[in-house]
Structure 1
């Protein structure tokens, strides 16, 4: 696909994107693959026909996402504000999926575009949990020690994201084999649901009920901490093996 396809119909572009999706690895986060990628496809087709660049789509994604994050920190928690936060975060995530698809429609992405996408992702993952800490401090009737929950969650999210990016970067730089995740059971797919950013966004629908939100958010933190504790030794072992492969 290239910019010469700009006169194609919306439906034709959606169908082309559906046939040119990245390979879905076993064990990939279900929401991100089966909901967000499809939503991003629809947005990408619109953005392409509107003449938007991938970086412009990334900017829209960032604006929506950080608007949602600001709502968490600045608006007193209520049912309607939780719905607003979820909508902004979910739309931001869909646009995040769309930017890469727009790049493919235009003939391929650029290092600058990929860099921008990753920087925005890194900023949102940390900022989201810091906003939760601010909301808990301002409006939740919780002991001060509970503020450690979102702060620790921010660390877990940052380390997980950086570890995944660094794994791929080192494999590409050293010419190592691509990830081989093998097959994954239904039980594994269910277990990794809390590590899916799109599923985390749904938790903010509970923002109007602080106790329920804190319980759900805390369970997600525990699940993500456990997933990271499991992944780190495995990633380190893979990097050691990579060192042997490229000698």
Structure 2
């Protein structure tokens, strides 16, 4: 199993050749987060479920990459959540629900506090800390559901669809929270910029989910460290960490975050169209 990150989106892990996946875990912002697709039958690459009680190392070994930050932080935290979940007989779907609940709740708090933070009625670092921790822990749950499903043989088509829908809901709420903060901090923020930010982020999420099975492709296949560092702008764990840090330290810069990732996601979308179109024209 390769841990090479693809460039289908922040945190979108590489897919492997073979049958289409039955469970797709963790689409990323502007791409797909997390631990990626699992093989038919519920375990990675068609291997049987791990016998006995799997360790955190075994869960982590089943991760689907996702980029330097996601592999170093989110996937490792997810593997420990998977150990806890297995011990307490929690299913991957329960972990998907926890991702959904925590991610959307965190975004709702940020949205509700956007105006009061801008007016100085609420201490900005408090909301920033909630965002930073809440989104990261939600993403760790998103990583853990795929690890648990693959290692214990609980993957299913319905579980995969449910996981993707939860991811879409969390990311829609996250985009709304960032847009609300940007507008509250800078009321003159152009409506077209906020619309473009949401559109490019979510469209890239959709194209990322499409990159499963025999549709998988990577524009940049190098696994060198400099390339992986550059790809941090497409690593979901790194992106939401940066978003949380902005809200924690300087929420007035939220509009710059929105503008930057509109360019990044829009540029990636355009490059993906060109890359895919070129491939489609080949005989």
Range class of TM-score, shorter chain: 0.7 to 0.9
Q: Give the match for residue 15 of structure 1.
A: 57
Displacement of 1:69? 0.9
Displacement of 1:91? 0.3
Distance 1:163 1:69, change over 3 A: same
Q: Give the match for residue 175 of structure 1.
A: none
Displacement of 1:99? 0.2
TM-score normalised to structure 1 length: 0.80
CA distance in 1 between counterparts of 2:170 and 2:63 reads: 25
Unmatched 5+ stretches in structure 2: 1-47, 118-123
Between the two proteins, the alignment pairs up a number of residues equal to 225
Displacement of 1:231? 1.9
1:152-167 equivalences in 2 (<5 Å): 152-167=196-211
Distance 1:164 1:19, change over 3 A: closer
Displacement of 1:33? 2.2
Unmatched 5+ stretches in structure 1: 173-177
Structure number with higher helix proportion: 1
Higher relative contact order (CA 8 A, sep 6+): 2
Distance 1:179 1:101, change over 3 A: same
Give 3-state SS (helix, strand or coil) of 2:212's partner.
helix
Aligned: 1:50 with 2:95: no
CA distance in 2 between counterparts of 1:49 and 1:2 reads: 16
Q: Give the match for residue 137 of structure 2.
A: 91
TM-score normalised to structure 2 length: 0.71
1:1-247 equivalences in 2 (<5 Å): 2=49, 5=52, 8=53, 13-22=55-64, 24=65, 28-75=66-113, 76-77=116-117, 78-137=124-183, 139-145=184-190, 147-168=191-212, 171=214, 179=217, 182-202=221-241, 203-207=243-247, 209-240=250-281
Give 3-state SS (helix, strand or coil) of 2:226's partner.
helix
Per-residue CA deviation, residues 19-76 of structure 1 (Å, 9 max, x unaligned), is: 4444x4xxx5222222211111111111111100010010001111001110121013
Rg comparison, structure with higher value: 1
Distance 1:238 1:48, change over 3 A: farther
Per-residue CA deviation, residues 197-236 of structure 1 (Å, 9 max, x unaligned), is: 2122122222253322322342233222222222221123
